[in-house]
């Protein structure tokens, strides 16, 4: 194109044409003669030029929206027309357009970008951070925050600058930052309470699956409780024969162990904290026949309509949480037992000193990781006492009540388990 033709065009359009021609001419030029220093200079200069070109492109895009570029071909906006003509994705084109519109209200950022002093992604971060400031801050705060972030852009890339942008109010106006944080936290807590939910579904195969939404505070409380239970009650358990032993490769706080801790957490809720409904504590009632109570294998029934094994019912009878109802012939109620209670702390200490930990042979679980077991089940007249109790780690406590295993004392007074044949 001749100089005359260039002169008839707007200088920006003429520049764009010359740039295309110059870039086309230099494309493919051999670089073997370029020194390391020259390569470095070229990288910096081209990067700065790209920022300047982005700034100019955004100015032209804003003007194109104003004059209706593309409307003659039916385009709904200049941005959509540009996206189609240049094969730029609509998402990227509109993202670019939004930044172009925002820069009109952030002159210092636009000036820095046009001068090649900041990159386009840095400019976007600064604009987003300043626009995200609370609406009730002092009038001077946005300009001060913008100036601070532009200064930091000289030393930090967009990723680091975004982190600074989230905390910029703390630097510019600490008192306002404290007020904003308090307001934000109160709003988040109110939203969390409003969104609180809990669902639980039984899969018909002895398992239930659930989902819940709670606040960060209550999630932290629950996590702390379960971690303490997992670390305290589900510790390492090794036996000479490897019976009921967790996998050595299993992480200390694996999903499985946290699940077991949740089970333990539910079973061991203190009796005086159980809520009531209709004047009756929310207690699971287990109904079983006398034969089952005395060691039979027939399933026990819950008042919810579900069933559990006889061994599980007898195991729970060692702990808080159930009321056993014993039926005789013709389903006549023979006895409604009272709610079981835990061994007291002094009793647990005494049992720990006496037993030294889990009673199972070869198990090294310490007292803190054990559960108290009634030697003589409550159904047979057993009581909650030091003499009437002994300590087992959770896996071995399950085996005590598992009818598939029998247990005997060895010469050292330790309990050995063997599968029934």
Name the residue with higher pLDDT: 235 or 387.
Answer: 387
Summarised one tens digit per residue, pLDDT across range 40-72 is 999 999 999 999 999 999 999 999 999 999 988
**217 φ, ψ (degrees, to nearest 5):** -60, -50
Q: In this structure, are 174 and 94 located in the same domain?
A: yes
- Single pTM value for the model: 0.52
Q: In this structure, are 121 and 62 located in the same domain?
A: yes
Q: Please, which pLDDT band fits residue 102 given cuts at 50, 70 and 90?
A: very high
Structure confidence at residue 181 (pLDDT): 79
Summarised one tens digit per residue, pLDDT across range 225-241 is 888 877 765 444 444 44
Q: In this structure, are 156 and 49 located in the same domain?
A: yes
How far apart are alpha carbons 403 and 407 in whole angstroms?
Answer: 10
Return the minimum-mean-pLDDT range out of 100-104, 115-119, 263-267. 263-267
Residue 49 lies in a domain: yes
Residue 14 lies in a domain: no
Return the minimum-mean-pLDDT range out of 233-237, 245-249, 298-302, 347-351. 245-249
Which residue, 152, 196, 191, is CA-closest to 171? 152
Q: Six-digit token pair at 413? A: 């007074």
User: Is the pLDDT assigned to residue 343 strictly greater than 80?
Assistant: no
**Arithmetic mean of pLDDT, 335-340:** 45
Structure confidence at residue 262 (pLDDT): 86
Range of the domain at 174: 40-185
Burial 80-97 (b: 16+ CB within 10 A, else e): bbbbeeeeeeeeebeebb
Which residue, 222, 208, 235, is CA-closest to 304? 208
Structure confidence at residue 128 (pLDDT): 95
How far apart are alpha carbons 152 and 155 in whole angstroms?
Answer: 6
Residue 175 lies in a domain: yes
Q: Please, which pLDDT band fits residue 334 given cuts at 50, 70 and 90?
A: very low
Which residue, 53, 75, 51, is CA-closest to 64? 75
Q: In this structure, are 173 and 75 located in the same domain?
A: yes
Integer Rg of the chain from CA? 37
**Arithmetic mean of pLDDT, 73-93:** 93
Structure confidence at residue 336 (pLDDT): 46
Q: How far, in Å, are 290, 294, 413 from residue 393 at the CA level?
A: 28, 24, 17
Is 161:152 a contact under the CB 8 Å cutoff?
Answer: yes
Residue 63 lies in a domain: yes
Residue 322 lies in a domain: yes
Structure confidence at residue 59 (pLDDT): 95
How far apart are alpha carbons 76 and 281 in whole angstroms?
Answer: 66
Q: In this structure, are 104 and 120 located in the same domain?
A: yes
Structure confidence at residue 179 (pLDDT): 85
User: How many domains is the chain partitioned into structurally?
Assistant: 3
Q: In this structure, are 50 and 172 located in the same domain?
A: yes
Structure confidence at residue 183 (pLDDT): 83
Which one of 136, 156, 185 terminates a domain? 185
Which one of 142, 166, 185 terminates a domain? 185
User: Is the pLDDT assigned to residue 342 strictly greater than 60?
Assistant: no
Q: In this structure, are 366 and 315 located in the same domain?
A: no
User: Is the pLDDT assigned to residue 104 strictly greater than 80?
Assistant: yes
Q: In this structure, are 314 and 378 located in the same domain?
A: no
Q: In this structure, are 282 and 385 located in the same domain?
A: no
Which one of 341, 371, 389 terminates a domain? 341
**Arithmetic mean of pLDDT, 132-161:** 92
- What's the mean per-residue pLDDT of the chain? 80
**Arithmetic mean of pLDDT, 353-363:** 85
Q: In this structure, are 306 and 321 located in the same domain?
A: yes
Residue 213 lies in a domain: no
Structure confidence at residue 84 (pLDDT): 94
User: Is the pLDDT assigned to residue 3 strictly greater than 60?
Assistant: no
**Arithmetic mean of pLDDT, 199-221:** 87
User: Is the pLDDT assigned to residue 35 strictly greater than 90?
Assistant: yes
Residue 6 lies in a domain: no
**Arithmetic mean of pLDDT, 207-223:** 87
Summarised one tens digit per residue, pLDDT across range 270-295 is 666 666 544 445 566 667 666 655 56
Residue 28 lies in a domain: no
Structure confidence at residue 252 (pLDDT): 61
Structure confidence at residue 165 (pLDDT): 92
Q: In this structure, are 93 and 112 located in the same domain?
A: yes
Q: Please, which pLDDT band fits residue 161 given cuts at 50, 70 and 90?
A: very high
Q: In this structure, are 330 and 396 located in the same domain?
A: no
């Amino acid at each position: 194109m001749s100089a005359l033709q260039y002169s008839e065009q707007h200088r920006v359009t003429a520049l764009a044409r010359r740039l295309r021609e110059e870039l086309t001419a230099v494309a493919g030029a051999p670089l073997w003669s370029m020194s390391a220093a020259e390569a470095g200079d070229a990288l910096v200069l081209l990067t700065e030029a790209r920022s300047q070109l982005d700034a100019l492109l955004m100015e032209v895009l804003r003007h194109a929206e104003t004059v209706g570029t593309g409307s003659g071909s039916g385009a709904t906006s200049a941005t959509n027309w540009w996206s189609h003509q240049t094969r730029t994705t609509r998402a990227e084109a509109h993202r670019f357009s939004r930044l172009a519109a925002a820069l009109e209200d952030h002159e210092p950022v636009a000036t820095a970008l046009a001068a090649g002093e900041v990159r386009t992604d840095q400019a976007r971060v600064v604009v987003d951070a300043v626009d995200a400031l609370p609406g009730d801050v002092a009038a001077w705060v946005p300009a001060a925050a913008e100036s601070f972030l532009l200064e930091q852009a000289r030393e930090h890339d967009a990723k680091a600058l975004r982190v600074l942008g989230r905390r910029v109010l703390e630097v510019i106006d600490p008192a306002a930052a404290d007020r904003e944080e308090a307001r934000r936290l109160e709003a988040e807590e109110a939203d969390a309470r409003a969104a609180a939910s809990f669902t639980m579904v039984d899969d018909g195969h002895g398992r239930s699956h659930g989902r819940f939404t709670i606040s960060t505070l209550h999630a932290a409380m629950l996590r702390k409780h379960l971690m303490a239970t997992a670390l305290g009650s589900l510790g390492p358990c090794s036996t000479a024969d490897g019976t009921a032993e967790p996998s050595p490769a299993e992480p200390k706080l694996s999903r499985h162990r946290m699940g077991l801790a949740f089970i333990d957490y539910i079973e061991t809720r203190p009796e005086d904290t159980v809520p009531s409904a209709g004047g009756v504590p929310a207690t699971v009632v287990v109904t079983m026949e006398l034969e089952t109570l005395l060691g039979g294998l027939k399933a026990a029934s819950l008042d919810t309509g579900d069933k559990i094994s006889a061994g599980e019912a007898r195991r729970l009878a060692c702990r808080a949480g159930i009321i056993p109802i014993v039926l005789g012939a013709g389903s006549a109620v023979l006895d409604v037992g009272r709610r079981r209670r835990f061994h007291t702390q002094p009793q647990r200490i005494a049992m720990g000193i006496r037993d030294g930990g889990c009673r199972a042979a070869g198990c090294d679980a310490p007292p803190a990781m054990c559960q108290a077991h009634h030697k003589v089940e409550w159904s047979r007249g057993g009581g909650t006492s030091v003499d009437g109790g002994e300590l087992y780690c959770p896996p071995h406590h399950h085996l005590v009540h598992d009818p598939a295993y029998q247990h005997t004392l060895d010469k050292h007074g330790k309990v050995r388990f063997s599968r029934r044949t």
